[in-house]
Chains A and B, each alone.
Chain A
Amino acid sequence: MTLQQPALPATAVATRPARRRDRGRLFQEIGMLAPAVALLTIFLLVPFLLSFWTAMTNQPLVPRPTPVRFIGLTNFLRIFKDDLFWTSLWNVSRFTFWILPVQCGLAFATALLLHQKLPLRNFFRGLFFLPAITSMVVVCVIWGTLFQYPTGPFNQVIGFLSGGDIQPIDWLGDPNWAMFSIVLLSAWQAYGFQMIVYLAGLQGIPDELYDAARIDGANAFQRFWHVTMPGLRPTHVFVLIITTIQAFKLYTQVAILTQGGPRSSTETVVHYMVRAGFEEQKLGYASAVSVILFLIVLVIALVQRQLLRRFDV
């Protein structure tokens, strides 16, 4: 899982006074840098550039005797004409809309609580991170049982609390509920990361600011609103953007639990891409989807940079 979106480095490249540069030293430095540069070039830069090329061809998954043809923007035009693509985009937007308040809200609240001097707070910090180290596949096993219809735990609890008035919900099988169910389990799994980032943000606010506010007679709520919240602005931007990017890449839980169903209500962009590439074997088409995904992520990341710049001065 990627955590961090480094904007420009805070410190410029560490500089040292220019020294005698002997050849041996230069070779050593090149040798130390080379493995990373080579691997990044082969496995990140080249496939990235290739994806733009493949996106404009009719490349199939398995090689065929007929040569691969350049077909320009045809793949993109087909994608934009496909209702299922727009559905998948709409679905990840819905997912984002739900996951942001649920996951970031929970993470923020937990971080605020754990920032207090409570007994065992380090223990709780470690504990609350446990779902984040749990593989999504395992999370699907656990939540798959919780969501069982009609007698799973959630339905039992709802039935018990409502005295049987509320009918059992088919969490993963009802198009109205499926995406929301995915939101619940995703938030449970990933919120530990956001919590830790918020804790870092809270620790970054100097105590003097709180003391000064206290001397000025600010109450707890005023201190929160006028000291904590402004101090956390970059953190909020960071967390919201990272969560949004993660949300647009939604795949594993959907592939395992719903396969994009029921009635395409949990179809996502990545799931759409993988299906096009590997079930329909249209790799060129799938590459075009991946280019679109990259552009979406890029735009979100650029928005983050702009916002952080504005807040950070």
Chain B
Amino acid sequence: MSDLAIPTPHTEAKRERSAIGSLRLVQTGCILVIALVIVSPLFMLLIASLKDDRFQILADMGSFRAFWVSNPTLSNFAEVSNFSGELAYGRYLMNSLFILACTVGAGLIVNSMAGFVLAWGTLRGRALVLSLVIALYVIPQESIIMPLVIMVSRAGMTDTFAVQIVPWVASPLYIFLFYQFFAQLPKELFEAAEMDGASVFRIYRSIFLPLSLPALATVSILMGIESWNQYLWPILVTQTDYARPIAVAIATFFGQDSIYWDRAMAASVLMMIPILALYLAFQRWFVSSFVGSAVKG
């Protein structure tokens, strides 16, 4: 098709450049507005946790004082950071941290080993196992939780740490992520090591695992968030303070007639710190590798 009215590249480029300039301004403005929407509730949480008076917190919420504290105090934190008795959020926090560390630690090992064998093993039936794993992914946690409660209570596991860790260590999603990551590494890597007489486990442990930092970081963050934020499962299987995670404990603030917002805010800030640290530590690898592996149609 012939189109004679093509503008000369010169004027076109010029027009586009000045358009880009004003477009940039609009875009930056939009980003800042979104940033405000995203960050201001979190910032308000932090500020409110530093205020002493729970009624003042609510009164301040409607104005700019929500973003300012004139005499910050850590008294709310001191109030809720007990390790026993009432408001034992120190203990709940430690419980959650312990559960997270065990789940993620065991999960990294178990899922990466499985992913490795599925990608590089010689076992017959690997393809079948892989498609079964993918099929299992469709089952939502919510729809197995009823029979699972019966199973663990018959096994006497109610109100333990194990019951909050063991069921969630192996996961189809993470096995698949590891599988995908390992499968795309060059096969020369495997063959060279095998030539040198290294065993399969050795190759996994000393060659492939050290190369999979992005995958390990991604799975750590995803598993960490998942474990940290578990709510439905722990309310069903914990009854006492012993193994109660902080998410469940914070939710109990809502059961009271008059909500102690000051303490709830302080406990919430406490709950954010560890997961934020985990996220900041691994974020660099998380974004790049997750972006790489996210959408596979």
Binding site for B on A (CB under 8 A): 1-14, 16, 18-19, 21, 24-26, 28-33, 35-37, 39-40, 43-48, 50-51, 54, 59, 61, 106, 109-110, 113-114, 116, 118-119, 122, 124-138, 140-146, 148, 151-153, 155-157, 188, 196-197, 199-201, 203-204, 217, 220, 234-235, 237-238, 245, 249, 251-252, 255-257, 270, 273-274, 277-278, 283, 286-287, 290-291, 293-294, 297-298, 301, 308-309, 311-312
Contacts and interface: CB of A to CB of B under 8 A. Distances in A.
A197 B137 CA distance: 19
A14 B119 contact: yes
A55 to B, nearest CB: 9
Interface string B176-214: 110110111001001100100001110010000000000
Interface string B270-297: 0110011001000100010011111111
Interface in B138-155: 138-140, 142-151
A6 B24 CA distance: 36
Contact of B170 (A43, A109, A255): A43
Contacts of B228: 135
B104 interface: no
Given A28-B200, A29-B121, A141-B268, A47 B148 contact: yes
A134 B137 contact: no
B4 interface: no
B62 A152 contact: yes
A235 B235 CA distance: 35
A4 to B, nearest CB: 6
Contact of A7 (B117, B222, B265, B296): B296
B144 A44 contact: yes
A28 B201 contact: yes
B58 interface: yes
30 contacts: A1-B222, A3-B222, A4-B176, A13-B119, A28-B200, A33-B121, A40-B133, A50-B150, A50-B151, A54-B150, A118-B27, A118-B31, A125-B287, A130-B39, A135-B250, A135-B271, A141-B264, A141-B265, A145-B44, A156-B61, A196-B287, A196-B291, A217-B3, A217-B7, A256-B254, A274-B232, A287-B147, A294-B139, A297-B143, A311-B297
Nearest to B19: A220
Interface string B1-45: 001001100001000000100011001101100110111011011
A123 to B, nearest CB: 10
Nearest to A6: B176
Contacts of B80: none
B229 interface: yes
Contact of A32 (B57, B117, B133): B117
A246 B250 CA distance: 23
A256 B187 CA distance: 50
Contact of A40 (B136, B151, B261): B136
A54 B140 contact: no
Given A13-B118, A125-B287, A136-B229, A290 B143 contact: yes
Interface of B: 3, 6-7, 12, 19, 23-24, 27-28, 30-31, 34-35, 37-39, 41-42, 44-45, 48, 57-59, 61-63, 66, 110-111, 113-114, 116-123, 126-127, 129-131, 133-134, 136-140, 142-151, 166-170, 172-173, 175-177, 179-180, 182-184, 187, 190-191, 194, 199-201, 204, 221-222, 225-226, 228-229, 231-232, 236, 247-248, 250-251, 253-254, 259, 261, 264-265, 268, 271-272, 275-276, 279, 283, 287, 290-297
Nearest to B34: A110
B292 A200 contact: yes
Contacts of B151: 46-47, 50
A48 B116 CA distance: 26
B117 A5 contact: no
Given A44-B139, A135-B247, A1 B229 contact: yes
Dominant SS among interface residues on chain B: helix
Nearest to B218: A3
B210 to A, nearest CB: 17
B61 A44 contact: no
B70 to A, nearest CB: 19
A73 B63 CA distance: 56
Given A25-B199, A40-B133, A238-B295, A251 B41 contact: no
A230 to B, nearest CB: 13
Contact of B122 (A25, A125, A133): A25
Contact of B184 (A11, A33, A148): A11
Contact of B146 (A36, A51, A234): A51
B41 A188 contact: yes
Q: Which of A5, A12, A145, A237 has the most CB of B within 10 A?
A: A145
Contact of A39 (B7, B110, B180, B231): B110
A255 B35 CA distance: 29
A126 B24 CA distance: 20
A37 B140 CA distance: 18
Nearest to A214: B16
B297 A238 contact: yes
A48 to B, nearest CB: 5
B252 to A, nearest CB: 10
B58 A145 contact: yes
A128 B34 contact: yes
Given A134-B42, A135-B275, 8 more contacts: A126-B283, A133-B276, A135-B229, A138-B250, A142-B42, A197-B294, A270-B142, A270-B232
